[in-house]
Amino acid sequence: MTTIQLLLLAGGGLFSGILAGFLGIGGGTVLVPLLVTLGYTPVESVATSSLAILMTSLSGSIQNWRMGFFRFKQVFYIGLPAIFTAQLGASLANWVPDYILLVTFGLLLWLNIYLVQLRKQITQDVEAARHESSNPLLARLFTGGAAGFLAGFFGVGGGVIMVPLQILLLGETIKTAIQTSLGVIVITAVSACVGHAWRGNVLLLEGLLLGIGGLIGAQVSTRFLPKLPDRTVTIAFRTLLGLLSIYIFVQAWVSYHG
């Protein structure tokens, strides 16, 4: 591993940690493209990302707990089904062709841009949105199950789907959804990382470098999140997803014709 690769991994981890605290995502939306760019296979990138995400999300969640923003009951109900669905996703990722994995990852990012936009139309009145959720427990189980599958299949923490679903199904504000999402990501990342490690896909050194950078970044960003306007966080979230989706589709095209 060259010095430039080491710096890119550490810097990428730091950036993903900052995003984790600000946007409630594990950082896989940044880490997977970075690892693919450095020449690792998509399944190695997904698996190694899960290790880094575990370190990042744990760091951010500890900071949220210290600041009084960690809700154990909410995290438990969403995280429990994710333990099992993450294993399903990790198993499926092993036999899907690389270009299919990348294309579906890009489509996932597009879906979440739409979900965040839909949130603005549905949840202008947060209390009304909560009232519309006829079965909050079922909504939490569905949210966690979807997040867990995505964690195993794509190497993301699941926050890219958890944040919009909490807003849409549970009527949460975006900041509350982000803080809960980060806690659940600890659970999904553990399950996904174990599943991929069992299959020999996790690159330990690369994962630790990314995770250490993410740990530092998450500590910084979780301190500033409560001070930011919801609109600023929403715009940042959608912009990131849009830019990354373009990059992922380009990589899928290269993989298909490679």
Question: Quick check: 12 and 210 in contact, CB under 8 A?
Answer: yes
Tally of CA atoms within 13 A in the half-sphere of 85 that contains its CB? 21
Residues making up the chain, counted from first to last: 258
Is the pLDDT assigned to residue 55 strictly greater than 70? yes
Predicted confidence at residue 232, as pLDDT, reads: 77
Write out the residue range of the structural domain in which residue 42 sits.
3-257
For residue 216, give both structure tokens: 């530092």
Q: What is the mean pLDDT of residues 207-216?
A: 90
Predicted confidence at residue 48, as pLDDT, reads: 93
For residue 18, give both structure tokens: 């900052």
Predicted confidence at residue 126, as pLDDT, reads: 47
Question: Quick check: 193 and 54 in contact, CB under 8 A?
Answer: yes
CA distance 235 to 238: 5
Considering only CA atoms, which of 68, 93, 106, 103 is closest in space to residue 201? 93
Q: What is the count of structural domains for the chain?
A: 1
CA distance 167 to 126: 9
Predicted confidence at residue 115, as pLDDT, reads: 65
Task: Give per-residue pLDDT as tens, 4-17.
Answer: 888 899 898 888 88
The kind and range of the H/E element at 25 are none
Distance set, CA 8 to CA 38, 127, 233 (Å): 9, 44, 25
Q: What is the mean pLDDT of residues 167-180?
A: 81
Task: Provide the CA 118 distance to its chain's centre, in angstroms.
Answer: 20
Task: Provide the CA 155 distance to its chain's centre, in angstroms.
Answer: 8
Is the pLDDT assigned to residue 203 strictly greater than 70? yes
Task: Give per-residue pLDDT as tens, 3-52.
Answer: 888 889 989 888 888 877 776 666 777 788 889 888 898 889 988 998 99
Task: Provide the CA 179 distance to its chain's centre, in angstroms.
Answer: 12
Is the pLDDT assigned to residue 130 strictly greater than 60? no
Q: What is the mean pLDDT of residues 140-154?
A: 85
Which residue carries 């189980």 as its tokens?
141
DSSP of 85-133: HHHHHHHHHTTS-HHHHHHHHHHHHHHHHHHHHHHHHH-SSHHHHHHH-
Is the pLDDT assigned to residue 132 strictly greater than 60? no
